[in-house]
Amino acid sequence: MIATRESRLALWQAEHVKALLQERGHTVSLLGMTTRGDQILDRTLSKVGGKGLFVKELELAIEEGRADIAVHSLKDVPMELPAGFTLACVLEREDPRDALVSPVYESLGALPQGAVVGTSSLRRVALLRALRPDLRIEPLRGNLDTRLRKLDEGHYDAIVLAAAGLKRLGLENRIRVAFDPDTMLPAAGQGALGIEVRADRQDLIDLLAPLAHATDWLAATAERAVSRAMGGSCSMPLAAHARWQTDGVLRVDAAWGDPEGGSALLRIDCTDRADDFAAAEALGERAAQRLREAGAH
């Protein structure tokens, strides 16, 4: 049994994992749930408890035996899982980039001065302010379809979303431009799916092992290590993105910004071999240390 949120994107993700498991001969069903993160839409996540609001009910379903696994967008998974839980695997990653969506404007540069751009991510706010301090950045909550509807109703001139969600739902045509990571650095784990289980369910960990994508999991591990070392909260204006340079050599870029635009964007990179999870974790921790040395807090 897969525990999943009931948004269209979350159900797509759960159905994707269900299909992969069924291809391997397993019988799978879904347990759809509404989480606190889905219910509270009038405040930013950083003010109501963070991204863990999207996963707590799913974890409770696993703990109570109503579900066996939970499928998450990895960027929504807290850096520290509750005692007794673990990530069984990270699947092959979809496009990790941010995307600009607008019914009128074809790029960030084409937006007029004072244009209204919607996002509730402090990371995106900080990066957008560094790129275009003249824009009005307004809060935007809700699932992907809700955000697109608010855009189409004229509440915003443009919004910024994860390209992965749009592509998974066949909405790639809504993307005006996918930002180059060197321009708009993604969030840790963005574009990746993670599967959470009870840590004592070795049978499920073994069953899910064939779904793991080794290099994407290592890259996501390094990114999440940056966030964990910096405090692991969605209330931080932090970006972290890892890219493979050559076999075994991983580069981690990280950025720390001021959502109010009062100070310059801090950006660092860190490169080393990452042949296993310990090395990937260590690389992410070194990247976080460089951010702190540069003035991040």
The span from the CA of 262 to the CA of 120, in Å, is: 18
| Residue 145 among the catalytic residues | no
The two tokens of residue 22 are 């069924």
The span from the CA of 230 to the CA of 240, in Å, is: 11
b/e 153-185 (16+ beta carbons within 10 angstroms → b): eeebbbbbbbbbbbbbeebeebbbbbbebeebb
The two tokens of residue 240 are 């972290």
The two tokens of residue 217 are 């999991």
User: Which of 76, 95, 98, 272 does the annotation list as catalytic?
Assistant: 76
The span from the CA of 181 to the CA of 99, in Å, is: 11
By the 8 A CB rule, do 51 and 77 touch? yes
Where are the alpha helices (H) located in the chain, listed in sequence order? Answer: 8-23, 36-39, 45-48, 56-63, 122-131, 144-152, 163-168, 202-208, 214-230, 277-294
**Number of residues assigned to the chain:** 297
Residue 82's nearest CA partner among 209, 207, 196 is 196
* Displacement of CA 211 from its chain's centroid (Å): 19
Q: Which residues are catalytic?
A: 76
